[in-house]
Structure 1
Amino acid sequence: MSNKQQTLKAPISFSGKGLHTGVSVNMTIRPAQADRGIVFRRIDLEGCPEIPALCDYVVDTSRGTTIEHAGNRVSTIEHVMSALWTLGVDNAVIDIDAAETPIMDGSAREYARAIVETGLEEQEAERKYFQVTEKMVYTIPEKGVAIILFPDDEFSVSLHVDYNSKIIGNQYATFNPGDDFSVKIAPCRTFVFLHELEPLMKMNLIKGGDLDNAIVVVENPVPDDQLEHLKKIFNKPDIRITGGYLNNLELRFNNELARHKLLDLLGDFALLGQRIKGRVWATRPGHFANTEFMRQLKRTIRKAGEKPRYYYDCRKPALYDINAIRHMLPHRPPFLLVDRIFHCDETSVAGIKNVTMNEPFFVGHFPEEPVMPGVLIVEAMAQCSGIMVLRSVPDPENYSTYFMKIDGVKFKHKVVPGDTLQFEIHLLEPIRRGVALVEAKAFVGETLACEATLMAQIVKNKK
């Protein structure tokens, strides 16, 4: 698989009904720029709100995976996510005119077929990978659920299901590097036990379910009156039980149910938002366990990201010393809060501030317990960001940067006299019309002191 991000060469569209809502759905998957990720867009709602396909936004896993953002949701996303992510699509915008994706035939076969036929386009940006370095475990002991992630150089899955069913038995499925998802996994359909049908219907679910888009497992003999009832439910006069399955005369694989669980797992793992280099062993996985494990993994990634990426060496010459900074920024003492820039490129910058007792704010904040005000740490990060964005203009001394928005500010460690604050700023998207959106972090040593997402605009100074 390519180490570059990929998107579709052209849009692809699907129509069908939602499994649980039963409503007619039109869905178009469109190419998207690098680093966009996979995003659902509810075009049936005012403003076409977007819902990022990330585990942070999972709100329900009872009979499928549902994500929600700002009060807008889309459900049963696992099949289309599985097809997109596993076949190599990193970036796509999915326009959908309902709250649920179309179930199609209960598998990801049609999704996979369309993706393969349309083809992918390689993008300039590098793929993001999480390299597993130690064994990670998620379990629900009372349900026999276990997902274990082992270190490896490539991604693979081995999966086992056992529902104490004499029809299903023990089933195993694997997905290894080089396997063809379109052939091996995508055609495998969703399944349900017959005894689950009535409760699901009473919960106002599976309105779009029928014997053409689901495998119904029949464990025990079915009385004639129940069979008649099923004929009315599905509006099919010829319902019969064959080999323990309702009207499914032939499975696509002898372990189709395990393969479908693997399909679901791949779709839920895609919600991590970056690819995994590791080997997965899963026993009786489900949407709840899959997405909770991804949340756990994301916390691990975030924790690893709470350390500086760049190493400051005071013995090396500054990239920009205080005189160069004064030339670029309009700020002056006592409000110039960056002393040195030691790294800068097109998308990131790193600098420092030496915090001393001579800072004027320590006179009142606080006289007996001097602490650097959090708002000034944010201001210092913004000044550091300004240096990065002002490099894009030929005469930075004639421009200023102004805050437009500050989001997600967290203060995690107090800053006191004697500390050296290290700032790291990363551009989250290309600068457009003078507007920059950045991720900003401030460290004391290897300890994260503050983080925020900042938006600012470059404005030319009035003469």
Structure 2
Amino acid sequence: MQTKQQTLASPISFSGKGLHTGVKVNMTVLPAPENSGIVFRRIDLENSPSVPALCEYVTDTSRGTTIEKGPARISTVEHILSALWTMGVDNAMIDIDAPEVPIMDGSAREYAQKILEVGLVEQKADRKYYEVTEKQVYTIPDKGVAIIIYPDDEFTVSVHVDYNSKVIGNQYATLDPFNDYAQQIAPCRTFVFLHELEPLLKMNLIKGGDLDNSIVVVENPVSEEQLEHLKKIFHKDDIRVTGGYLNNLQLRSSNELARHKLLDLLGDFALLGMRIKGRVWASRPGHYANTEFMKQLIHAIRRDGEKPAFRYRPDKPALLDVNEVRKLLPHRYPFLLVDKVFYLDNNSIGAIKNVTANEPQFTGHFPTEPVMPGVLLVEAMAQASGIIVLKSVEHPEEYSTYFLRIDNVRFKHKVVPGDTMQIEAHIIEPVRRGIASVVGKVFVGGVLACEATIMAQIVRNKKPE
């Protein structure tokens, strides 16, 4: 069954300071309509310009991910996106009155807690998925960065970090369907090495950073002079180094730093704009690599075109074989264009039509170059649509469906003898007064061959006299 999109049950609000700007920030995450995605709106600017949370709008990845469209620029978006996306929010409008998301305690813990408190509501539209069909790799060899994604039925992530640090060592973190994101990943805080602080300050960053919202890793002995300097930076009189961290810090887990890298990766992966079915392995990931990999996936999606929503397994038994299809449809040879149904729910269907050279249409279309007529592709989509529509009425054998209109017909590729047509249809509006609206698609070898929007009417068959 298709998974539905979700949004928040009610708004959630946060206040804090920006990690890099240091400014006070107020942010409210609002429920949003289906298919709207996650969008940031700068309510402090004239006309409240907005920017969608998509990788095409990423403009900067120095110590955080920044997205920008026109005058709307938002920095450090990864933590709130990580919490929303991983906890199931597909659509949200984020109103914010500053150019940076509040850092809170350096983690996504408070974001996750608020999402759990208000809960989610299911929407009518199906979720959109990118199903990985082949291994894809992104690397930065000189920095030891690698992100690899493999085909899988679920979304899982394994992260490995190794900075040649005697304090951190090798750390691993994973996300799979059995992990509790809110408890195990969201509380893990951002971190920085002590030797990185001065360059960041010179870059006019981390103005809002302090020891309450970040972990500072100390690799080498620190002199008294350096400690005095750190006291001035953090405005604290009790700066000290204990166990490789500033101020006797207690880690929330032994692999907190790897878990935070996983948290960041999930937020950056949300910028793809659709869910992923694939297994990810990442070594030393960072915002630049994460977002560049998402751009690489977008390029692959556009290159490959639209993919089927359902996976056809020829080795599995049909949900409806041709004899059961005949009980629902009045069509017979040579006009029955659905051989079997392999997927079926209340709103969608996946069906198969095997195209052979023995079919009569190829006698004249065309004698020397047989091609399946486009009108028959549309008819096949209509017949598949008829099955899901007729299953919504009692005694479906007493009814038939008739075309009212066909819109947005697109023919992408030829269908020829020997091809296996995977036919998909999705009801896009509830059936009212016997009128059904359906989006139909035909795929061959996973490639879209034809699509159309079909409106049909359910009509009771005349009883034979």
TM-score exceeds 0.5: yes
Listed as ranges, the matches of 1:18-417 within 5 Å are 18-305=18-305, 388=407
* Count, aligned residues: 360
Q: Is the 8 A contact 2:9 2:121 kept in 1?
A: yes
Give the superposition deviation at 1:342.
Answer: 5.7
Report the CA distance shift for 1:46/1:229 in structure 2 as closer, same or farther (over 3 A): same
SS at match of 2:16: strand
Counterpart contact for 1:239–1:246, Cα < 8 Å:
yes
1:247 Cα deviation from its structure 2 partner: 1.4
Letter in 2 for 1:212: D
What code does the residue aligned with 1:199 have? P
Partner of residue 347, structure 2: none
Contact 1:211 1:248 in 2 (8 A): no
Tell me the distance in 1 between the aligned counterparts of 2:27 and 2:40: 10
Q: Output the CA distance in 2 between the equivalents of 1:156 and 1:272.
A: 16
Give CA deviations for 1:228-267 in whole Å, capped at 9, x if unaligned: 1111111100111110101142111111000000000010
**Residues 133 and 202 (structure 1 numbering): CA distance in 2 closer, same or farther, change over 3 Å?**
same
Is residue 305–residue 448 contact of structure 2 (8 Å, CA) maintained in 1? no
Superposed CA deviations along residues 264-305 of structure 1, whole A, max 9, x for unmatched, are 001011111111111111100000111111111111111222
Contact 1:19 1:208 in 2 (8 A): yes
CA distance in 2, matches of 1:233, 1:252: 25
CA distance in 2, matches of 1:307, 1:76: 32
Q: Distance in 1 between matches of 2:261 and 2:185?
A: 9
Secondary structure (helix, strand or coil) at the match of 1:388 reads: strand
Structure 1 residues 84, 448: closer, same or farther in 2, change over 3 A? closer
Q: Is the 8 A contact 2:190 2:213 kept in 1?
A: yes
CA deviations over 1:173-196 (Å, ceiling 9, x no partner): 111112100011000000001111
In 2, distance between residues paired with 1:173 and 1:237?
35
**CA-to-aligned-CA distance 1:43-77 (integer Å, 9 cap, x gap):** 11111111000111111111100111124210100
Contact 1:344 1:388 in 2 (8 A): no
- What code does the residue aligned with 1:257 have? L
Q: Which residue of 1 aligns with 2:391?
A: none
Gaps of 5+ in 1: 310-314, 318-337, 349-385, 390-412, 414-425, 431-445, 450-463
What code does the residue aligned with 1:388 have?
A: D
Contact 2:305 2:447 in 1 (8 A): no
Q: Which amino acid aligns with 1:216?
A: V
Provide the residue aligned with 1:11 in structure 2: 11
C-alpha separation in 2, matches of 1:344 and 1:19 = 53
SS in 2 for 1:290: helix
Change (3 A) 1:307 1:88: closer
CA gap 1:199/1:126 in 2 versus in 1, 3 angstroms? same
Letter in 2 for 1:286: G
Q: Is the 8 A contact 1:38 1:91 kept in 2?
A: yes
> Any idea what SS the aligned residue of 2:407 has?
helix
In the TM superposition, what is the alpha-carbon distance from 1:2 to its structure 2 partner? 8.1
Distance 2:116 2:263 in 1: 17
Q: Compared with structure 1, are the counterparts of its residues 68 and 248 closer, same or farther at alpha carbon in structure 2 (3 Å cutoff)?
A: farther
Percent of residue pairs identical: 72
In structure 2, the CA distance between the partners of 1:2 and 1:252, relative to structure 1 (3 Å rule), is farther
CA-CA distance at 1:306 after TM superposition: 6.1
Q: Distance in 2 between matches of 1:85 and 1:50?
A: 19
1:416-450 deviation line (CA, Å, top 9, x unaligned): xxxxxxxxxx99x99xxxxxxxxxxxxxxx9999x
Root-mean-square deviation (CA, aligned residues, Å) is: 4.1
Tell me if structure 1 keeps the 8 A contact 2:78–2:267.
yes
Which residue does the alignment assign to 2:319?
none
Deviation at 1:90, TM superposition (A): 0.5
Q: Which moved more, 1:22-31 or 1:147-156?
A: 147-156
Alpha-carbon distance between aligned partners in 1 of 2:7 and 2:306, rounded to the nearest angstrom: 30
Would the alpha carbon gap of residues 131 and 46 (structure 1) be closer, same or farther in structure 2, given more than 3 Å must change? same
Shift of the alpha carbon at 1:307? Answer: 8.3
How far apart in 1 are the matches of 2:275 and 2:25?
Answer: 29
Q: Is the 8 A contact 2:50 2:69 kept in 1?
A: yes
Distance 1:7 1:36, change over 3 A: same
3-state secondary structure, aligned to 1:265: helix
Q: Please tell me the residue identity of whatever aligns with 2:407.
A: M
TM-score by length of 1: 0.69
Q: Distance in 1 between matches of 2:130 and 2:220?
A: 45
Distance in structure 1 (CA, Å) of the matches to 2:61 and 2:24: 22
CA contact 1:210–1:234 (8 Å) conserved in 2: yes
Q: 1:308: how far off? A: 10
